[in-house]
Chain A
Amino acid sequence: MKTARTGRAVPPRRTLTQLAGAGETGALYVEGEPGGVVYLTDGWVSYVESPASPGVGDLLTTSGRLPEIVWAAAVASGEDVGPLLVAQGHLTQGELELCTLGAIYDAAFFVLSPAPARVRFEAGERHRLGPVCQVDAAVLGRELTRRRKLLDDVHPSSDVDTGRLSATPRAPTPRLVVTAPQWELIVHCDGRRTATDLARLLGRSGYTTLLELRRLAAASLVVAAPPDEEPKAVGRAAVTTEADAAEKPQARASRDKAPTAKRTASSRRAVAAAPNGRPAQTDARLPRRTPGQQQSGPDPPPAFRDELDEALLNRIRSGLEAL
């Protein structure tokens, strides 16, 4: 049996309540940003996953609790992953339950957001984690409402939820106290990562990451740029040459999370692929740009480097004149 409900956007939580009331078993796919899937077993929520929050596998492997190979082998076995790991002695039942419950509530926060979304229900579909624990859909709904309110109580603006995050360069007060999870976040706010990136990178729950980020935003320690805005190159001269056009994809490539070797290769290709720009200028700038390419952070603004060189030259000149 397959129920397609892709026609119109509805609040996903209402659909879930209907399915739970009918005691359905299957997977409720929720489209949209970030979207996700809610798995039901006889009307109980048995698992939820969303791209915005780390799943059970992410939590266990990122924290180092399980080697990735063990998790991958359990998934590849085709059996119910959770009970299998417990049976093999890799996890305790308690750990599995805590981890799964945490992941369910965390992902549900993102999947079952109040915004209407297009949903589709695949009856009979089950998650490969297997039966671990079951959550009442009504309890889940109430808890999500409470969590949303908690976020707004901390800091009413939702900028940090989706924007690219950077740590403020200067602390707003002479002394501050941050907790360990907050420190972890501040250190990794590099002007490009979003809350979702941070949660997945650090293997932290998506919701607690949001909560800590809102606290940091309320304390003016972290600021967010709108999600689509690329980090700006400050003080860039107005000459838009072909060389500039060639540089942009390169900068974007270096921002990707691809392995370093691949990144350097692709950025090198981008440089080589600018043959008919202004050869002289491109050649002259190449050696100066090379160190920036190897850094994982954003390139320092070129104009700043030019200024630095000029200042240095001036100082050398005045030094020579003084002789």
Chain B
Amino acid sequence: MSGIDDCLTQAMAIHGAIGASLIDHTTGFAVGAVGRAPTDDPDATWAGTAEIVNVAVTGAPFASARPGDRVEDVIITTLDGYHLIQQVHTVFDSRLVLYLWLDRAQGNLAMARRQLRQLADGLSGAQATPMAVVAARASAAVPVTSAGR
């Protein structure tokens, strides 16, 4: 569908986007980056992003026991902005995340998240599976409601 540069350009077109990059989360290296980074030292930003992803992916509290489950994205909200980190799932071995920094006043978190997911899927050649996502959410919601009664 689209190459890395197209993908990042489209990410920057998301309403309220300040910066976007594609980061290798094993090494904290940015394969591609456009726009601004939250700090003066972009390398530190990317290394920090990689660290957060690794904690989420390997950390026991988030490692679901359900087979086939995996971390899809990590979202950090600050008073000033949203930081969206979305995993890019390729069939072959690559450990990449798409990172988007969004202005809090202008950006819409839910919309941006959807758009970023589509970009990540387009990049990795995966078919977007909205039904599977809905089903997973529905099943996750069941225990909560039953516990409430």
> A residues touching B (Cβ–Cβ < 8 Å)?
54, 59-60, 62-65, 91-95, 97-99, 101-102, 105, 133, 143, 146-147, 150, 177, 179, 203-205, 207-208, 211
Contacts and interface: CB of A to CB of B under 8 A. Distances in A.
B83 to A, nearest CB: 22
Nearest to A147: B27
A211 B26 contact: yes
The 8 closest A-B pairs by CB, nearest first: A94-B123, A92-B125, A65-B91, A63-B92, A59-B92, A93-B3, A95-B125, A204-B93
B57 interface: yes
B30 to A, nearest CB: 10
A92 B119 CA distance: 13
Contacts of A92: 1-2, 122-125
Nearest to B120: A94
A102 B1 CA distance: 19
Q: How large is the interface on B (under 10, 10 to 19, 20 to 34, 35 or more residues)?
A: 20 to 34
B93 A59 contact: yes
A150 B58 CA distance: 18
A143 B2 CA distance: 25
A65 B7 CA distance: 21
A102 B93 contact: yes
Interface in B82-123: 88, 90-96, 122-123
Contact of B91 (A64, A204, A205): A64
A64 B90 CA distance: 11
Contacts of A97: 3-4
Nearest to B95: A208
A312 B123 CA distance: 63
Given A92-B125, A94-B125, A147-B27, A208 B93 contact: yes
Given A63-B93, A95-B125, A211-B26, 6 more contacts: A59-B92, A92-B2, A95-B90, A102-B24, A133-B4, A150-B27
Contacts of A60: 92
Contacts of B124: 92, 94-95, 98
B93 A146 contact: no
Residue among B1, B63, B88, B93 with the most chain A CB within 10 A?
Answer: B93
Nearest to A135: B31
Contacts of A205: 93-94
A179 B58 CA distance: 6
A146 B125 contact: no
Nearest to B123: A94
Interface string B19-36: 000001011010100000
B1 A94 contact: yes
B61 to A, nearest CB: 11
A65 B92 contact: yes
B60 interface: yes
Contacts of B88: 98
Nearest to B121: A94
Given A91-B125, A93-B1, A147-B27, A98 B93 contact: no
